[in-house]
Structure 1
Amino acid sequence: MEGDGSAERYDMWLSGFMDPRTTERWEPPECEKTLDGKEMTSAPSRCILEMSDEVLLLLMEFLDPFSLLRAGAACSTLYRICSTDSLWAAHCRSSFGSDFRTTDAAYTQKEAFKLLYIWGKLYKTLPYNRPLQDLLFSGIPPKRYWMQWLILEDMVPLPPIQLADYDIEDIWGLRKDLLDEKHKVTDESLEETKHSVFKYDWKELHNLALQHHGTYAKVQLHVLQKMSSECHEELEWLFVQYNRFRFQWLFSYWLFGLSKSCARQLQRIYLWWKRFDKRKVSSWGSTQCDVQYLASLHCITEDFWNGNLANGEENIGIQTIENYFSMCKSLLAWILGRKWGRFKQKKIYKDTLEGVYRVLKPEMQVALISHDQFWAAAKVQMLRICSLEETAGNYVNWKLIDALPCYRLYMASGDPFYLEQIKGFLFRKQLISNWLLQEENMWVRNLLPDSLSQLLEYETKLIEERLHGDTMVAYLSRLIWLYLHSGQQLYMDALKGFVYECAYASFSSQIFESCSIVSTGF
């Protein structure tokens, strides 16, 4: 395979990195230069390619299979070293239980590792790999695909099949005298043929093959010897597609592959209190469904879609998603069992999920997170939310503090310091409201424009856009924001002075308008 360049293509396809057919050798610079252009007098650096083959081979023994493939993709010299049979025999032994060394082998150990790895990865995706399903189930699959299934019987359940005895011998390596007569198909149309037809479950044939060959490794060896001369381009192309779309395929299968009752329950939990496009969600589960949009509705599913869960292991990542939504189901049942208002239910559910994701995100990126881990984090987040709700006292104040940095910092850390900051913020907000409601300030309330009165009394959030500009609303918003966040009395005094000025200005304008009306009347 070295002569036609196909092995290089396989390396590039498996590793997904540099084109290994690039044979340009990297050479170190003869000398380095300082910032002013002068040459530095230092010892010349040595290139790794100047080492002997024996030393390079010892270095390559420390690499895992995929690092070895990437190293071999660098240049022709490293490709030759990284293709050594002893290296790949060790990887075959650790991954598949045998080095597959035989005197009459028509394959290299590198090819053996590649083929077994491809088949193992690809056929495990059969439940959600639509292109592979179309290939295998559109008609009777070629025998070369049956041969690969032989080593995957424990992974992929297959239906019973009728085969002639010579086909069974060719695929499984079983002699005719090992086949049980009770599985023989009696059909008058088959009596004229010299060969018998048997009906077996694939599992039974798999067990017979294990008994006949002795060990699972010898079954793999039988398959490799039979398949070494076959063309694997079709399955290799499917594997490239799998590498590119495996997260999308598996996510779609998980989201839509449930029974109707389970699917409705998952859809309810998935969309609970989420702002979504009803037009896009209406096609849930159909071929026109925008699955990427559905994945974007939750941070954890969006991470899986982009391959950012469990170090890119799609099966572990989907287990994390399953555990997450199992926790969501339990959380939702717990919340709805309380006699809370709709706002409080929504707030606790939403903030709990955001807090759980924020706390567990670093760990989810590298490992599987169990249902219990999710619940443990959820309980901590709910305790903090209840403390914030108790501090707020009512829904208006809760809406007010929701946008505060201290709110998020307390949810993330649980530090009582941030809770005290929030209490001070609410206390100062109450001081502003109480000052305006004093009896001696009744004239101020009557004269102030509605926009300013609402800002002082009823506004629950200081919108960022209102803090900029030269209008009265912007100026008063800045004074309120500075006082609420700093607590300094000078901002409160400035706020009072500005409110009085606005009231006087409104009073003067009203007097002027009255005088104008009177003078016009005369």
Structure 2
Amino acid sequence: MAYHDTTQESELLEHFSCLSVNEEESVTTDEPLDSCINPGLLFLSDEVLIVILSHLEPVSLLRLGSTCCRLFRVCSCDSLWTRHFQDSFGVGLPNITTAGYTAKTAFRLVFMWRALFRNVHCNRSLQEKLFAEVPFPPHAYWTQWLVMEERVPLPAAQLSCADLEKLWGTPRDLFTEKLQEQPVGDEILRMEWRELYNFAVTHHGSASMLFHYVLKQHQSSDHSELASMYRQYTQCRFQWLFTYWLFRQPTPLNRQLRAIYLQWRKHSKKKVSTWGETVCDVRYLASLHPITSDYWRGKLARGDENIGIHTVGNYFSMCKSLVAWILGRDWGRLKRRKVYEDTLDGVYLLLKREMQERLVDHERFWQVAKMQMTRVCTLEETAVNYVNWKMIETLPYYKLYLVSGNGVYLQHVQGFLRRKRMLHDWIYLEDNTWLRELLPDELFTLLEFDTKLTQGSLHGASASAQLSRLIWLYLHSGDQLYMDGVKQTVLQYVHARLAISASVLSADPWQPVLRPVSP
């Protein structure tokens, strides 16, 4: 796989969550012998392999390294992971041979921390760790990670010079001016986190050396809690971020989002009544829209939760514009709702694959929505009235026209309605009055114009199932053979019913009845 500048973080989340950060990297020795495997790349020298592997991204590098002992060793080469560290975090690593840690270990630790810290706004577990001792900094382990962050969502920290020297590596003399402003004997400084970061970068010489200092400090740390929180994050990140996006908008935007989210959407009032509360069924709310259902299952933007939630936000921004446009038209309530629903269905069908691959912005959504709305209105004009419109919405040609705009599918829809009318007109001919009177309701209803044939009605050996299949074939193919079959089936059923009635009438109606005699 060719190397890309942007790391595929979503896949890395899954791979790194399975790796331990406490134990030395090792491979079990109970692997099958390499002699049983086609050698392939294993014939090449380590130097040649490293040149080839330098074109792989982190995900592919991890996958290849899991195949055998030798490739694991080569794929763990410091030169490969040093470059990935630079590309992923924007800082380089110093001479790794004297650093005391491997480049792969450094990449894994920083990657896990950054994944957690980037989404601290929706990660309750990490918030409890970072905000536990405000206004004092959190536990030394977590503060040590915060050292390399320029922007920290915490109030100004109160720290002693000893803490600053231990955690940031900044000597006391850097804070001489601030200490002079303090009362005599008071060495507790109140400092903003960005100010601390700038002091540390200036002292260490660069952000790269600051990262190196933090990693050196963490050499003897127990990272089991970080790994545990990271595993929890990989399992729940989509649900956490979606919940935060849905319920934690500013007050006016929160009301607007709720209104747009539920606009013309069938939903349970009981479940929606707990909107934003602890007992709210967020999974149910996510199921109300195909796009939010996809995001909940991690299917947007190649599993990148942050890009995916931006796509979701852009989608509902488009919905807001669409609602405003529709409400500005002089349409009835039913037409407004159906235009809105069908337009959104068309937008989702057209952009589904694109949303699965990348970010889709508001402008792209709006362009597609306008095109879909035009096609929906064309279908509405073709249907002539609302009854016909509801009847054709389940046709495959309906969605095919929405997606493609091909007039051939529109002709199929017109042909369907024309044949439906022909069936209706045939059963209502004056010569067929006797048929209408003798047909049971379940069969007569199938021949009426406004009846929709469901998939379930096509299966079985009953008379209604047989007639439904013939009608369905005629409506979708237009073959006169099936129309003749419909007529023949109806006539056969009526004649059979008449024969049964005649046999009953011809039977002797008098039967003696024996009554018990009273004693």
Distance 1:467 1:213, change over 3 A: closer
For 1:247, the equivalent position in structure 2 comes to 238
Could you tell me how far 1:382 is from its partner in structure 2?
1.4
User: Which digits, 9 at most, give the CA deviation of each residue in 1:311-366, with x for residues without a partner?
Assistant: 11111111111111111111122222223233322222222212111111111111
SS of the counterpart of 2:394? coil
Distance 1:510 1:209, change over 3 A: same
**Which amino acid is 1:14 matched to?**
F
Contact 1:452–1:473 (Cα < 8 Å) also in 2: yes
SS of the counterpart of 1:67? helix
Could you tell me how far 1:510 is from its partner in structure 2?
8.4
For 1:35, the equivalent position in structure 2 comes to none
For 1:164, the equivalent position in structure 2 comes to 160
SS of the counterpart of 1:127? helix
Distance 1:123 1:395, change over 3 A: same
Contact 1:20–1:73 (Cα < 8 Å) also in 2: no
**How far apart, in 1, do the equivalents of 2:34 and 2:160 lie?**
63
CA RMSD of aligned residues (A): 3.4
For 1:385, the equivalent position in structure 2 comes to 376
SS of the counterpart of 2:159? strand
**Which amino acid is 1:21 matched to?**
V
For 1:118, the equivalent position in structure 2 comes to 112
SS of the counterpart of 2:339? helix
User: Which digits, 9 at most, give the CA deviation of each residue in 1:100-154, with x for residues without a partner?
Assistant: 2278533233333233222222211111111111222223511232222121123
- Identify which of 485, 491, 501 aligns with 2:476: 485
**Which amino acid is 2:126 matched to?**
L
For 2:80, the equivalent position in structure 1 comes to 87
**How far apart, in 1, do the equivalents of 2:26 and 2:13 lie?**
7
Contact 1:425–1:485 (Cα < 8 Å) also in 2: yes
1:56 corresponds to 2:46: no
**How far apart, in 2, do the equivalents of 1:511 and 1:247 lie?**
69
**Which amino acid is 1:149 matched to?**
L
Could you tell me how far 1:417 is from its partner in structure 2?
1.0
**Which amino acid is 2:190 matched to?**
K
SS of the counterpart of 2:122? coil
For 2:393, the equivalent position in structure 1 comes to 402
Higher relative contact order (CA 8 A, sep 6+): 2
Q: What are the within-5 Å matches in structure 2 for residues 465-480 of structure 1?
A: 465-469=456-460, 471-480=462-471
1:150 corresponds to 2:140: no
Quick check: 161-170 or 104-113, which moved more?
104-113
1:127 corresponds to 2:121: yes
Quick check: 370-379 or 508-517, which moved more?
508-517
- Identify which of 70, 74, 79 aligns with 1:77: 70
**Which amino acid is 1:246 matched to?**
R
Contact 2:93–2:208 (Cα < 8 Å) also in 1: no
**How far apart, in 1, do the equivalents of 2:107 and 2:313 lie?**
32
1:173 corresponds to 2:169: yes
**How far apart, in 2, do the equivalents of 1:102 and 1:436 lie?**
87
User: Which digits, 9 at most, give the CA deviation of each residue in 1:269-327, with x for residues without a partner?
Assistant: 22333333444333322222232232222221222222211111111111111111111
For 1:256, the equivalent position in structure 2 comes to 247
- Identify which of 413, 416, 421 aligns with 2:407: 416
Contact 2:17–2:234 (Cα < 8 Å) also in 1: no
Contact 1:60–1:68 (Cα < 8 Å) also in 2: yes
User: Which digits, 9 at most, give the CA deviation of each residue in 1:150-171, with x for residues without a partner?
Assistant: 21123x3321111112222333
**Which amino acid is 1:133 matched to?**
Q
Could you tell me how far 1:392 is from its partner in structure 2?
0.6
For 1:33, the equivalent position in structure 2 comes to none
Identity %: 47
**How far apart, in 2, do the equivalents of 1:399 and 1:306 lie?**
31
Quick check: 333-342 or 123-132, which moved more?
333-342
**How far apart, in 1, do the equivalents of 2:313 and 2:286 lie?**
14
Quick check: 310-319 or 334-343, which moved more?
334-343
Quick check: 89-98 or 381-390, which moved more?
89-98
User: Which digits, 9 at most, give the CA deviation of each residue in 1:488-515, with x for residues without a partner?
Assistant: 3343344445555666777888899999
**How far apart, in 1, do the equivalents of 2:298 and 2:123 lie?**
17
**Which amino acid is 2:122 matched to?**
Y
Could you tell me how far 1:378 is from its partner in structure 2?
1.4
Distance 1:119 1:506, change over 3 A: closer
For 1:22, the equivalent position in structure 2 comes to 28
Q: Unaligned stretches of 5+ in structure 1?
A: 1-9, 31-43
SS of the counterpart of 1:22? coil
**How far apart, in 1, do the equivalents of 2:19 and 2:130 lie?**
30
**Which amino acid is 2:139 matched to?**
P
How many residues matched?
492
**How far apart, in 1, do the equivalents of 2:128 and 2:99 lie?**
33
For 2:9, the equivalent position in structure 1 comes to none
User: Which digits, 9 at most, give the CA deviation of each residue in 1:36-74, with x for residues without a partner?
Assistant: xxxxxxxx9535445433333333333333433343344
Distance 1:28 1:497, change over 3 A: same
**Which amino acid is 2:145 matched to?**
Q
Contact 2:112–2:230 (Cα < 8 Å) also in 1: yes
Distance 1:45 1:198, change over 3 A: closer
Quick check: 46-55 or 144-153, which moved more?
46-55
**Which amino acid is 1:144 matched to?**
Y
Contact 1:247–1:314 (Cα < 8 Å) also in 2: yes
Contact 1:150–1:206 (Cα < 8 Å) also in 2: yes
Distance 1:226 1:467, change over 3 A: closer
Could you tell me how far 1:264 is from its partner in structure 2?
2.7
Could you tell me how far 1:472 is from its partner in structure 2?
4.5
**How far apart, in 1, do the equivalents of 2:19 and 2:166 lie?**
38
Contact 2:169–2:200 (Cα < 8 Å) also in 1: yes
Could you tell me how far 1:197 is from its partner in structure 2?
1.8
**Which amino acid is 1:160 matched to?**
A
Distance 1:394 1:183, change over 3 A: farther
**How far apart, in 2, do the equivalents of 1:502 and 1:205 lie?**
90
**How far apart, in 1, do the equivalents of 2:201 and 2:145 lie?**
15
User: Which digits, 9 at most, give the CA deviation of each residue in 1:168-202, with x for residues without a partner?
Assistant: 23333333332264576745xxx4x4x62211111
User: Which digits, 9 at most, give the CA deviation of each residue in 1:73-110, with x for residues without a partner?
Assistant: 44443333333333333333333332222785332333
Contact 2:15–2:62 (Cα < 8 Å) also in 1: no
**TM-score normalised to the size of structure 1?**
0.83
User: Which digits, 9 at most, give the CA deviation of each residue in 1:231-284, with x for residues without a partner?
Assistant: 222212211222222112111111121134322322222233333344433332
Q: Unaligned stretches of 5+ in structure 2?
A: 1-11, 512-519
Quick check: 462-471 or 331-340, which moved more?
462-471
Distance 1:215 1:489, change over 3 A: same
Q: What are the within-5 Å matches in structure 2 for residues 324-335 of structure 1?
A: 324-335=315-326
For 2:8, the equivalent position in structure 1 comes to none
For 2:423, the equivalent position in structure 1 comes to 432
Q: What are the within-5 Å matches in structure 2 for residues 510-521 of structure 1?
A: none
**Which amino acid is 1:287 matched to?**
T
Distance 1:66 1:472, change over 3 A: closer
Distance 1:476 1:216, change over 3 A: same
**How far apart, in 2, do the equivalents of 1:469 and 1:75 lie?**
55
